[in-house]
């Protein structure tokens, strides 16, 4: 008999939450505020104290955090960080048979499939459930959550996922991560489009804020025009989504495209621009700061019509 999302050994699933960065803290907070028993862990001890105020327990070791947990949520930065936590920090061994890992990190689809297969040998199920919506969405509990894994496993975890946002089942293991890199392609190329549009507006002597408001409601409207356009105009690049995370996700997207024998020229170009920023040490600023890179490029302007090879 398949368990429903309410049929857990203790009546309600106990949660371990691993990874308490800018996104993990508000996500874990929302789970705890929804009344779930949460034990949290972070590789460094910073950020965990704030969860005590919402009733979450704190573990010093990842294996201790997952002992007895029904659902183990990971929110880490890279494929390697997830692998380390699951298989080198003792999580897979300490997880009880029948537990479920929900990895909400943004990792490669191939890694998601690999980790799913490996956890199965420990009797542990898997969902890859990467998110979009940034720190504001994490705090508000309105993240878009793209889920890959077994449908029955998804059904059992649906109520927990809904405490953090709007989950959508995409397909088997790895499918959530494919949806996430599709999201990141749209985000990155749209940031580039908004930045170019605002630079054109400014160069033409217009007020970019007035133009931004004029575009609202039309086909050019988007959350990126609203939120990142505002950041560009205010020149506020305090990180929500950082350059290094955006670049990591774009490189995953291009690797998947090569595997599928696809050419993604817009994605390749915007990846090149983010790589230039990273090479210049601008890893930790907000990805909307692509505006600054494009702004710098105008100083090297050459009229393309003067190119004899054009």
Contact 157, 180 (CB under 8 A): no
Main-chain phi, psi angles of 53, to 5 degrees: -70, -15
Q: Which residues carry out catalysis?
A: 180
Distance CA 239, CA 303 (A): 34
Q: CA neighbours within 13 Å on the CB side: how many for 182?
A: 9
- The region that residue 290 occupies, defined by phi over 0 for left and psi between -120 and 50 for alpha, beta otherwise, is alpha
36 closest CA partner among 67, 64, 4, 8:
8
Distance CA 125, CA 276 (A): 40
Any bridge partners for residue 101, and if so which? Answer: 72, 126
- The region that residue 174 occupies, defined by phi over 0 for left and psi between -120 and 50 for alpha, beta otherwise, is left
Tell me, what DSSP letter sits at residue 78?
S
Rg of the chain's alpha carbons, rounded to an integer? 21
Chain-centroid distance, C-alpha 131? 5
């Amino acid at each position: 008999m398949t368990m429903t999302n309410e049929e857990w050994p203790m009546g309600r699933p106990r949660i371990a939450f691993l990874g308490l960065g800018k996104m993990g803290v508000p996500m874990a907070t929302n789970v705890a505020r929804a009344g779930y028993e949460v034990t949290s862990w972070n590789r460094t001890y910073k950020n965990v104290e704030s969860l005590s105020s919402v009733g979450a327990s704190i573990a010093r070791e990842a294996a201790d955090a997952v002992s007895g947990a029904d659902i183990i949520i990971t929110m880490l930065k890279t494929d390697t960080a997830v692998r380390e936590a699951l298989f080198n920090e003792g999580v897979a061994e300490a997880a009880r048979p029948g537990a479920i890992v929900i990895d909400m990190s943004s990792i490669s689809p191939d890694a998601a499939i690999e980790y799913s297969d490996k956890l199965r040998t420990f009797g542990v199920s898997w969902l890859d459930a990467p998110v979009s919506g940034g720190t504001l969405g994490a705090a508000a509990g309105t993240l878009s959550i793209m889920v890959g894994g077994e449908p029955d496993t998804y059904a059992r975890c649906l109520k927990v996922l809904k405490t953090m946002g709007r989950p959508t089942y995409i397909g088997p293991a790895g499918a959530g991560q494919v949806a996430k890199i599709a999201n990141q392609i749209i985000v990155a190329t749209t940031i580039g489009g908004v930045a170019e549009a605002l630079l054109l507006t400014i160069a033409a002597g217009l007020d970019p804020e007035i133009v931004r408001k004029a575009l609202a409601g039309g086909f050019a409207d988007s959350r990126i025009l609203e939120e990142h356009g505002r950041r560009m105009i205010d020149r506020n690049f305090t990180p929500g989504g950082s350059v290094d995370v955006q670049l990591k996700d774009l490189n995953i997207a291009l690797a998947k495209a090569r595997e599928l024998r696809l050419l993604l020229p817009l994605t390749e170009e915007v990846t090149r621009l983010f790589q230039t920023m990273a090479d210049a040490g601008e890893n930790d600023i907000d990805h909307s700061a692509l505006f600054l890179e494009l702004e710098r490029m105008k100083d090297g302007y050459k009229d393309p019509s003067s190119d004899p090879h054009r």
